[in-house]
Amino acid sequence: MTSLHADEAFLGHYQLNHDPFAPRVPGFKFFPAQRKPVLGQLHHLARYSELLLVVTGPLGSGKTLLRQALVASTNKQSVQSVVVSARGAGDAAGVLRQVAQGLDVAQAEVGAILKQVVQLALTGQEVYLLVDDAEQLDESALEALLALAAGAPEGRPHVFLFGESSLIAGLEQLSTEEERFHVIELQPYTEEETREYLSQRLEGAGQGIELFSANQISEIHESSDGWPGNINQVARDAMIEAMIASRNAVKRPSMGFNMPKKHVLAISAVVVVAVAAAWLIPGRSKAPTTGTPVNEQAQLPLGQGTPTTNGGAPAVEFAGNTQPMPLPLVGQPVMRGPLAEAAGGITEGDDGVPLEGSSSVPPTVTTTAPPADIPAGPAPTPAAKPVPAPTQVATAKPAPAPVAKPAPAPKPAPVVKPVDKPATVAKAATGTGGAWYAGQKPGNYVVQILGTSSEATAQNFVKEQGGEYRYFKKVLNGKPLYVITYGNFANRDAAVAAIKALPAKVQAGKPWPRSVASVQQELATVR
């Protein structure tokens, strides 16, 4: 997913044709009234000043946009602009190599470059050298650029550095004896400019400023401190939070009948068992006639006679025998077994007592007895099947027990194990520092401290501060950016309160609260 194509759910929810707050949107140009005097000042100083010009502002303050406006507003016939990036090439050799390539100079040296500048000046052309990400320049690169800015008597290039305020310290160390550079600090947007900026961003994506209320615009301006990069992030966070809230409202269960499929199947199984049990109720079978042989089993309620055999000893048969197991007429405890099995293999009742059919209950026994009107004693029919002697019953007693033992219900423990797997997958997918954020609730908040293009800087900062500081990797303008955050808070108010308790050194970077959902969204775009 590129920086111009946000998550499809986000775009679809708001009917956007692209992410309005992506760092780079083709054709988007917002230049507030306060920046126009700055642009004019840069042109004026380039013409009449011999100093190196430095434009500073925090990350996302609009330095690159100002640099683009400076190049676009020059006369292409009289000015040749060479744009240099200090990212990944912050030493003198890397910077001079880029300048030499831009001016078609064979040797990447200060003298050779100045000689070419003089030649262009003789033809009426000036040279603008514009350096992005200048805070990444080392001492050797700064010294080379100061030498280029000083130029030669016959001509000199106009050097512009666009970077964060940390750049100034390095220049001051090299300019202790004389004034060699001039600094212009960018100012944040006013609330009205923030509103105009949001409006133009949304209109370019097919929507309007009505997506935000007046209160939301004020909160966005306050949280972002008026810096356009922060405005993009805070506004997008607000839209994502509103989208999540609306989706949660839609997903709330209705008052109608809406039961999970597995519950419906369980109820259906219970109904089938109940119908089968009702069909097998002894009252539905025909009563035995007087001609029924004595050895045929008659069903009697418990306590209504003592079953005997031909030898006068009680006859006992176990559940699981080849004969069908009858259901007792009173209580019908055997119904609890099927009901428990249909409910998911539960083998204990509400009181914790094992139910019939579980492995901890002895097999159900069926007693046999002659009809009530026939006295107990020897069977009158000599041709009837012989009834096993008591000793035979005792010998066969353990055999049927394994048959009656129900299959053990599946243990619920394996169902819990897969829950941990998504977290493992997310940990591998989110990349550097992203696993922790993926495992947090989207509605929680963290405090964004700062962003840096150097992972080593982020690691050192987190190591130095310790505690609840951590960082994640994102992509900004096609380049990696490491964002440091602090804490994990249940709501925005708690995050705002935590900012006030941070050390003064950390507060100097203007930290601001942002939702975990927005961080997870950014992590998803770099997968």
CATH number at residue 460: 3.30.70.1070
Query: Is 281 domain-assigned?
Result: no
Asked which of 156, 185, 214 is the last residue of a domain, the reply is: 185
Q: Are 204 and 178 in the same domain? A: no
DSSP one-letter string for 418-475: GGGHHHHHHHHHS-TTTHHHHTS-TT-EEEEEEEES-HHHHHHHHHHH-TTEEEEEEE
- The pLDDT score that the predictor gives to residue 293 is 44
- CB atoms inside a 10 Å sphere around CB 332: 11
Q: What angle do CA 225, 229, 230 make, to 5 degrees?
A: 40
pLDDT at res. 445? 92
Asked if 125 and 180 sit in the same domain, the reply is yes
Enter the tokens of residue 115: 């000689």
65 plus 16 within the same structural domain:
no
Q: Measured between alpha carbons, how far is residue 70 from residues 65, 85, 457 in Å?
A: 9, 16, 31
50 and 152 in a single domain? The answer is yes
Three-state DSSP class for residue 378: coil
Q: Are 184 and 54 in contact (CB under 8 A)?
A: yes
How many helices and strands (H and E) does the chain possess?
21, 11
Let me know if residue 477 belongs to a domain.
yes
- Radius of gyration (C-alpha) of the chain in whole angstroms: 42
Give domain status of residue 283, yes or no.
Answer: no
Q: What is the pLDDT of residue 517?
A: 86
Q: Is residue 236 part of a domain?
A: yes
Residue 61 belongs to domain spanning:
35-185
Look at residue 10 in the predicted model and tell me its pLDDT.
84
* pTM of this prediction exceeds 0.85: no
In this prediction, residue 264 carries a pLDDT of 59
Q: Do 481 and 505 fall within a single domain?
A: yes
For residues 54 and 389, give the distance between their C-alpha atoms in angstroms, rounded to a whole number: 111
- Alpha carbons 162 and 517: distance in angstroms, whole number: 32
482: which DSSP letter? Answer: E
Number of domains the chain is built from? 4
Q: In terms of domains, do 70 and 202 share one?
A: no
Amino acid 500: pLDDT: 87
Q: In the listed set 234, 250, 266, which residue is the last one of a domain according to the structure?
A: 250
Length of the chain measured in residues: 527
pLDDT computed for residue 287 by the predictor? 45
Q: For residue 266, give the H/E element and its range.
A: helix 261-279
Strand order in the sheet with 469-476: 469-476, 479-489, 445-452, 512-515
Q: Which pLDDT score is estimated for 321?
A: 45
Tokens of residue 52, six digits = 């190196």
Which residues, 6 or more positions from 426, have their beta carbon under 8 angstroms from its beta carbon? 435, 438, 439
Do both 48 and 75 map to the same domain?
yes
Q: Residue 61 sits in a domain of what CATH number? A: 3.40.50.300
Identify whether residues 435 and 391 lie together within a single domain: no
Alpha-carbon distance of 93 to 251, in angstroms, equals 59
Where among 185, 219, 240 does a domain terminate? 185
By the 10 Å C-beta count (0-12 exposed, 13-18 middle, 19+ buried), 189 is classed as: buried
Which residue in 193, 190, 185, 197 sits closest to 29, CA to CA?
A: 197
Shared domain check, 434 and 368: no
All residues at 6 or more sequence positions from 309 whose CB lies less than 8 Å from its CB, including other chains: 315, 387
Considering the domain boundaries, does residue 269 fall inside one? no
Distance from C-alpha of 388 to C-alpha of 395, rounded to nearest angstrom: 11
CA angle 235, 241, 245 (to 5 degrees): 145
DSSP symbol at 377 = S
Tell which residue, 244, 237, 218, has the closest CA to residue 515: 237
Write the CB contacts of 174 (distance below 8 Å, at least 6 apart in sequence): 139, 142, 143, 146, 180
- What distances in angstroms separate CA 490 from CA 55, 224, 325, 494, one per listed residue? 39, 20, 60, 7
- What 3-state class would DSSP assign to 317? strand
Residue 74 domain-assigned (yes or no):
yes
pLDDT given for residue 100 in this prediction:
93
Q: Is 523 exposed, middle or buried (0-12, 13-18, 19+ CB in 10 A)?
A: buried
Looking at the structure, do residues 106 and 174 belong to the same domain, yes or no? yes
Q: Tens place of pLDDT for every residue, the chain, 527 residues? A: 443 444 678 888 888 888 888 877 776 778 788 888 899 999 899 888 889 999 999 988 889 889 989 999 998 889 999 999 888 778 999 999 999 999 999 999 999 999 999 999 888 899 999 999 999 999 999 999 999 998 888 889 999 999 998 899 889 888 877 888 999 999 999 999 999 999 989 988 888 999 999 999 999 999 999 999 899 989 988 998 888 888 777 655 544 445 565 665 777 777 777 777 776 765 554 444 444 444 444 444 444 444 444 444 444 444 444 445 454 444 444 444 443 333 343 333 333 333 344 444 444 444 444 444 444 444 444 444 444 444 443 334 444 444 444 555 555 444 434 334 333 333 333 335 678 898 899 889 999 998 888 888 888 889 888 888 999 998 876 778 889 999 999 998 899 899 988 888 888 777 888 889 888 888 887 76
Strand (E) or helix (H) holding 121: helix 110-122
E-strand spans in 328-370? 365-367
Q: What is the structure's pLDDT at 193?
A: 92
Clarify whether residues 17 and 113 are in a common domain. no
Q: Is residue 63 part of a domain?
A: yes
Q: Is 77 within the bounds of a domain? A: yes
Q: Say whether both 81 and 171 belong to one domain.
A: yes
